[in-house]
Structure 1
């Protein structure tokens, strides 16, 4: 069960690599904060025992033996205190905090760094700037790790000033890279990107040196964290300089990072080449191990059985021979976790041998007092027993892992182990205990939110493998047989939470903080939750003041998804209309017919769908009952869940708009000749500020948004929604604006939520081809933009059809007492009944997401 969330990997590695900029002696990159040597501070140590303790702690820390480093630095701090050496006592305590952070000992880490800072504040004469900078760096790392991002940003800004006081340019750059990461965590993506671009320019003019190599490597990782295309270029520059100045100790770590960037981009051949070179250039066993592990993961991902078996034997031997350390333990855990992802890991190595490796790892973790590693290893070991159907032993190990995780209050480990315990109870037929364990796992996943179980960078997971199934399996348990009202309410809440978790994963941060029960907003609306489970399609129906209703269709997930795929293919003017009607009616019968037959929708004006899985990709408005489309009977809206801004009265007669578009061919995108007419028509219909072609730039849009009181922002330009954050963007005249930057730009509209954008319209967008989760990008933008409602297109629509539909939409919207959903419905009906664009291809691509009122 490997969780792989790129944001957190880069966050923690970036923090650690940046600290390389602070050191005189450059050492290979590792996922921790590296030490400054005493020569950096020009500190003379008076006691050989203390000196040895400080140096011994550094050596232990850099070899991953954190528990032993804690002992060494605690002893050194006590000795320096006895001697009255306040300088080295403060440094020892700062280092001690770093080691305690690595062991998840957060309260102890905070006490150590606070004591260190207090010494600095009270010391006479005052400490020199470089010592202040080092200790502030440790403090900021702790604040960021514990979610106090704004405080971390402020502390790194202070550290930067101290570095600049003594002319330490690399230290200053390191602090600025960390500030860029903090800005990203706070959601200021444009500022973060601008910050990093400025640092790139500064590093480019510096003379070649090992410190420059380290700085570029750090910068490359930071850029990769925000999916900047310049990341690889910066990392390759770092590699080129390292080769040029023969910085051999730098090469392997840079090559491993480049390989991971290539792997993230689905370029397996390039990744394997980088990892092979990393093995060749490795200067120590740990570097060689990390390069081999990275190679092995790619081989497993791409099912290269012969190569992976040969490498697995080498890794197994090396892992058994390495002395216990933080890095060697997690290497073993990751190795077995990678194999545990396979359907048949025994085709690579016998399961008893893997179990033996985890047994040795558990004992080693106990030996060096690395409790998190012990819990992770127990979990993987339990998975191996589960595979061989030794359920009692598997549950015993999973429970041990869970108990340790609870003591550590480590939600990332609790989430894994409680899920494993729940699956084992479920397999043994004990549903109440299974539900309890699953519920504990979900609680931990919610606690993690944006970190999404990647708190520990050494143990990586993927959302689809290790988060989504927890929710779905618990929903399946709750909806077995005839679910009670409490079970239905819990299942509905879980599906809402899963939607939030998916968006958090998409944005790599917790992006939804306010919730409102949407089925209580409008008594004439019915909220429909279709849930695709492995053996059925479950539908929960929610109406204000009514008990939840439940309908189920027993059909396999494969059959359901195949029907949805086939229907989507038929949404084309040249497709077989009879096949389109047949498939459309099939889906209608699953979702709408049961409540209609019970007269449950007789007072409903608007259907609000909280769509699940592949249902998100189909045009719900085009479902057909045999005589009419769904949109001819009800207004339709989509919602990611309960998260909507507070309802605000919309003064339709006083609408003000910003209308922007690009009609000409630009940056490799084709011309949209109908956009010019669309933009001009809407500008004549509404009081508007218009930006067309050259006038529609990132900056001009930002300026108009900030200075105007616009209720509506209408953007007619190329754009794409994808399940990949970096591939979700809009086109402006001077380039692309990704979804993070656009959301930040739109939020400049007003800090007052009562002045939020009422409606964001994107009338020429597309969903990424072949991406069955692409609508995540649309839902994400709808939420992150701060707009109460978003209208967008699921695929590019003929210019003339878009122009007619949008113009008529605004005509209807200006009428009193009409909702946005009803205005869109009337515009779509107008195309169906009064134009040549009656085929669903032309009108059903337009969807309303968010507040439909």
Structure 2
């Protein structure tokens, strides 16, 4: 009788244990299935957002990516949250909200206490060391590299050029270490920032009349221009650079050459530099004209922008045949815009 009671007791314990195990397994399975559903929802929203942005629907894309971010927060997917915040930045940039885009990147990259607002204050050595330290704490993941490149780009747009240059140079270094496919994009962003730094120095030279300061600036302008020209050329010379990105670099380089050439016109001390810059303009125009089919490999919006930029640049050259070419490219851009509106 005692043995029977013990057997019954152990049998009941076994059934209870099995019941608990099965219940926990079912709960874990349900939780796992629920998480997978949430991930699929977030991924779908991410894809929808990309499609909306490509169709020019930036506000709708922002809404889709905000919903994806909430889901990733809910399932505690840190990488998903960062990626969605970076996507939100792209939409905000399209909408012209550059400071807000910067704030999303600060959150994605966890660059605490970073101020995204434009300022006339100098970028201090302390701020530089703090930024470098924060960047070096990041893991070299594709998402973080994309976030850093975007941060460099948006800081240029809010006028924080020295910060932009620092971040992009660090991003380029990291991308080379990880054999990233995004090196060409980073070089393009870096070349654009360096061109903006050149333009800022050129404007300061024009606005400020103090002789000593002007002498300092006049020495730095050629250096800043050359840094940008070299960065664009480095991109173009890379065999793996996509043709569309090469075209954008060549257009930006041509625009810079013409602007720099104009500035050098009344600088007799820089006559040799003037001659070298002038000699590069026509060959680059010829290269772009020979690869004109690449314009149509861009998205319609990018194609319009690129053709208008080329037309505007050509119109600055005192050459009647190039003036005619400029009109042709401007007309082509107008036709593409009309076709888009008619769709």
TM-score in terms of structure 2 length: 0.55
Q: 1:341 to 1:174 in 2, by over 3 A?
A: farther
Structure 1 residues 770-810: Cα deviation after superposition (integer angstroms, max 9, x where no partner): xxxxxxxxxxxxxxxxxxxxxxxxxxxxxxxxxxxxxxxxx
> Matches of 1:281 and 1:207 in 2, distance apart?
26
Picking from 296, 301, 316, the partner of 2:289 is 316
**Unmatched 5+ residue regions in structure 2?**
1-32, 112-133, 200-223, 262-276
* Correspondence 1:407 to 2:342: yes
> Matches of 2:188 and 2:88 in 1, distance apart?
25
* Correspondence 1:274 to 2:231: yes
Give the superposition deviation at 1:160. Answer: 1.4
> Matches of 1:138 and 1:207 in 2, distance apart?
25
> Matches of 1:180 and 1:223 in 2, distance apart?
12
Picking from 222, 232, 239, the partner of 2:172 is 239
Q: 1:351 to 1:228 in 2, by over 3 A?
A: closer
**1:565-576 correspondence to structure 2 within 5 Å:** none
* Correspondence 1:326 to 2:259: no
**1:283-432 correspondence to structure 2 within 5 Å:** 283-286=240-243, 287-303=245-261, 304-320=277-293, 322=294, 324-326=296-298, 333-334=307-308, 336-342=310-316, 344-346=318-320, 350=322, 354=325, 358=329, 377=332, 379=334, 404=339, 407=342
Partner of 1:433: none
Give the superposition deviation at 1:243. Answer: 1.9
* Correspondence 1:197 to 2:155: no
Partner of 1:764: none
> Matches of 2:152 and 2:289 in 1, distance apart?
32
> Matches of 2:246 and 2:93 in 1, distance apart?
32
> Matches of 2:75 and 2:157 in 1, distance apart?
30
> Matches of 1:136 and 1:291 in 2, distance apart?
33
Q: Secondary structure at the match of 2:316?
A: coil
Partner of 1:129: 38
Counterpart contact for 1:216–1:238, Cα < 8 Å: yes
Q: Secondary structure at the match of 1:302?
A: helix
Picking from 64, 81, 100, the partner of 1:155 is 64
> Matches of 2:94 and 2:333 in 1, distance apart?
32
> Matches of 1:292 and 1:181 in 2, distance apart?
24
Give the superposition deviation at 1:161. Answer: 3.1
Counterpart contact for 2:251–2:309, Cα < 8 Å: yes
Q: Secondary structure at the match of 1:128?
A: helix
**1:411-560 correspondence to structure 2 within 5 Å:** none
**1:780-819 correspondence to structure 2 within 5 Å:** none
Query: By percentage of residues, which structure has more helix?
Result: 2
Give the superposition deviation at 1:405. Answer: 6.7
**1:6-155 correspondence to structure 2 within 5 Å:** 128-140=37-49, 142=52, 149=59, 153-155=62-64
**Unmatched 5+ residue regions in structure 1?**
1-123, 359-374, 380-399, 409-853
**Structure 1 vs Structure 2 CA RMSD:** 4.2
Picking from 248, 253, 269, the partner of 2:185 is 253
Q: 1:210 to 1:194 in 2, by over 3 A?
A: closer
Counterpart contact for 1:180–1:195, Cα < 8 Å: yes
> Matches of 2:290 and 2:98 in 1, distance apart?
44
Q: 1:183 to 1:330 in 2, by over 3 A?
A: closer
Query: By percentage of residues, which structure has more strand?
Result: 1
Give the superposition deviation at 1:134. Answer: 3.2
Counterpart contact for 2:46–2:68, Cα < 8 Å: yes
* Correspondence 1:217 to 2:144: no
> Matches of 1:189 and 1:158 in 2, distance apart?
21
Structure 1 residues 610-650: Cα deviation after superposition (integer angstroms, max 9, x where no partner): xxxxxxxxxxxxxxxxxxxxxxxxxxxxxxxxxxxxxxxxx
Counterpart contact for 1:256–1:291, Cα < 8 Å: yes
> Matches of 2:240 and 2:340 in 1, distance apart?
35
Counterpart contact for 2:235–2:241, Cα < 8 Å: no
Structure 1 residues 811-834: Cα deviation after superposition (integer angstroms, max 9, x where no partner): xxxxxxxxxxxxxxxxxxxxxxxx
Q: 1:168 to 1:291 in 2, by over 3 A?
A: farther
> Matches of 2:185 and 2:95 in 1, distance apart?
29
Q: 1:254 to 1:172 in 2, by over 3 A?
A: same
Counterpart contact for 2:42–2:68, Cα < 8 Å: yes
Counterpart contact for 1:293–1:331, Cα < 8 Å: no
Give the superposition deviation at 1:272. Answer: 1.0
> Matches of 1:246 and 1:181 in 2, distance apart?
24
**1:664-683 correspondence to structure 2 within 5 Å:** none
> Matches of 1:208 and 1:314 in 2, distance apart?
36
Counterpart contact for 2:176–2:183, Cα < 8 Å: yes
Q: Secondary structure at the match of 2:193?
A: helix
Structure 1 residues 625-684: Cα deviation after superposition (integer angstroms, max 9, x where no partner): xxxxxxxxxxxxxxxxxxxxxxxxxxxxxxxxxxxxxxxxxxxxxxxxxxxxxxxxxxxx
Give the superposition deviation at 1:186. Answer: 8.6
Partner of 2:194: 262
Give the superposition deviation at 1:329. Answer: 5.0
Give the superposition deviation at 1:256. Answer: 0.9
